[in-house]
Amino acid sequence: MITETNDLVRCFGAGDDLYERYHDHEWGHQVHGEAELFERLTLEGFQSGLSWLTILRKREGFRAAFANFDPTTVAGFTDADVERLMNDAAIVRNRRKIEAAITNARALVELHRNGETLDKVIWSHTPGPRPGPPADWTEVPASTEESKALAKELKRRGFAFVGPTTMYALMQAIGMVDDHIAGCVAARSDA
C-alpha cells in the first residue's frame, strides 16, 4: 500500500498524476463497447513485459496511430502501415505486437460479420463474486480459470497475443474483476 501525503491510500500509482488518475478512475471500472474494449485489449498486449505507466504515457500516441481503435480501419492496415508504425516513436515499436493488433482488428471485424460482439465474448467470461477485496498483492492471481478460458476462446476466433495472464490483466483493467487491495481508496466493498 502507498499512503499519500493527503491520507489517501492507493494500492498502486501514487506519485504520478497520470498513473493516479488511471488508478482512481479507470482500473477496476467497467468498460463496454467495441472500440473501448479493442483499445484495452490492444494496450494490454503492448504492455506485456513492460511497465503499465509506459503504456499510459504513450496512450494518446497509440490512439492516433491506431485510428482511435476503430477496428474496421485497423483491420485494413497493410504492410506499409506496419512499417509506418515501426517508425512511430509515439508508440511501443514491437513488430509482433503491432501485427497482433491488426490481426485482432480483423478477428473483431469477423466477429461482427457473424453477428457477435467482442463485448459479449469478453464479458461472458466474468468470474463469480468474491468475498471481498484482496488483503494484499499475494492474493491477486496472475491468471484464473476464466482468463484461461477467455484466452482460449479468443485464440479460437483468430485473436493473437491474448494469453491467460494478459487476459487477466484485461479483466482487471475493464472492471470484470476488482483487485484493488483492501484499504485502497478505490476498493469496492462488493468486489
DSSP letter string over 38-65? HHHHHHHHHHTTS-HHHHHHTHHHHHHH
Mean pLDDT score across all residues of the chain: 93
Instruction: Give pLDDT, residue 59.
Output: 98
Which of the four pLDDT bands, split at 50, 70 and 90, describes residue 38? very high
Tell me what percent of the chain is helix, strand and coil, each rounded to the nearest 5. 55, 0, 45
Instruction: Give pLDDT, residue 107.
Output: 98
Specify whether 123 is catalytic: no
Kindly name the residue from 19, 34, 39, 52 that is annotated as catalytic.
Answer: 52
Determine if residue 33 is left, alpha or beta; phi over 0 gives left, psi from -120 to 50 gives alpha, anything else beta.
left
Work out the percent of the chain whose per-residue pLDDT is above 90.
Answer: 86
Instruction: Give pLDDT, residue 1.
Output: 45
Split into its structural domains, the chain has a count of 1
Instruction: Give pLDDT, residue 4.
Output: 45
Res 129 pLDDT > 90: no
CATH of the domain at 68: 1.10.340.30
Q: Which domain holds residue 98?
A: 32-173
Calculate mean pLDDT across residues 148-165.
98
Res 191 pLDDT > 50: no
Distance CA(92)–CA(73), nearest Å, equals: 20
Which of the four pLDDT bands, split at 50, 70 and 90, describes residue 189? low
Distance CA(175)–CA(177), nearest Å, equals: 5
Instruction: Give pLDDT, residue 2.
Output: 46
Res 115 pLDDT > 80: yes
Render pLDDT for 54-82 as a digit per residue (tens, 0 to 9): 999 999 999 999 999 999 999 999 999 99
189 belongs to a structural domain = no
Distance CA(140)–CA(143), nearest Å, equals: 9
Kindly name the residue from 27, 34, 39, 44 that is annotated as catalytic.
Answer: 44
24 belongs to a structural domain = no
Residue 85: how many other CB atoms lie within 10 Å: 23
- Do 174 and 35 touch, CB atoms closer than 8 A? no
45 belongs to a structural domain = yes
Specify whether 153 is catalytic: no
138 belongs to a structural domain = yes
Residues present in the chain in total: 191
Could you tell me which residues are beta bridge partners of residue 2? 10
Specify whether 22 is catalytic: yes
Which of the four pLDDT bands, split at 50, 70 and 90, describes residue 25? very high
Kindly name the residue from 22, 27, 34, 39 that is annotated as catalytic.
Answer: 22
